Amino acid sequence: MKLKSLFILLTLLVFLSAFTACSTDKPVSDGLLKTFTFEVYPQDGDKTVFSVSTTKASVGEALIEEHLITGETHAQFGLMVKTVNGILADWDENGTFWMFYIDDEMAMTGVDSTEVRDGAVYAFKQE
């Protein structure tokens, strides 16, 4: 069990360090209404799917406005999501975290620095 926990912790550290190399510039809204699909994959439950229409620039702003995510903003990493659709993922509390995906691929940008694309599929998976 200790080896698995160590592996997960090292994976998290590699993932977080990848974000330091990514741009944390915030997108700017063009004022146009865009619609995207948002999927939530809890660790122990069924997938939930939402359709989100927004004029917000970033996926993070849109999901916060819809009360679908909450988290803490860090200067170095941006928004670190803790709850998605009311489900808490906190490494210190339950050994899980939320991983952000864009069109079924692990995102290389944070949710608050990812520009909304009309028709895209964004997801958080509890891992």
CATH number for the domain spanning 84: value is 2.170.130.30
pLDDT value at residue 8:
53
Structure tokens at 118: 């009309």
**Rounded mean pLDDT for each run of 10 residues along the chain, 127 residues in total:** 50 43 57 95 95 97 97 89 96 94 96 96 97
pLDDT value at residue 2:
54
Q: Are 69 and 124 in contact (CB under 8 A)?
A: yes
* Residue span of the structural domain in which 74 resides: 2-126
What total number of domains does the chain contain? Answer: 1
Of the CA atoms within 13 Å of residue 45, those in its CB half-sphere come to 13
Of the CA atoms within 13 Å of residue 57, those in its CB half-sphere come to 8
Structure tokens at 26: 């915030």
- State how far the Cα of 113 lies from the Cα of 116, in Å rounded to an integer: 9
Q: Which residues contact 61 (CB under 8 A, 6 or more apart)?
A: 54, 112
- pTM, entire model: 0.77
Residue ranges with strand state E in 1-127:
34-41, 48-54, 69-74, 78-84, 87-88, 98-102, 105-106, 121-126
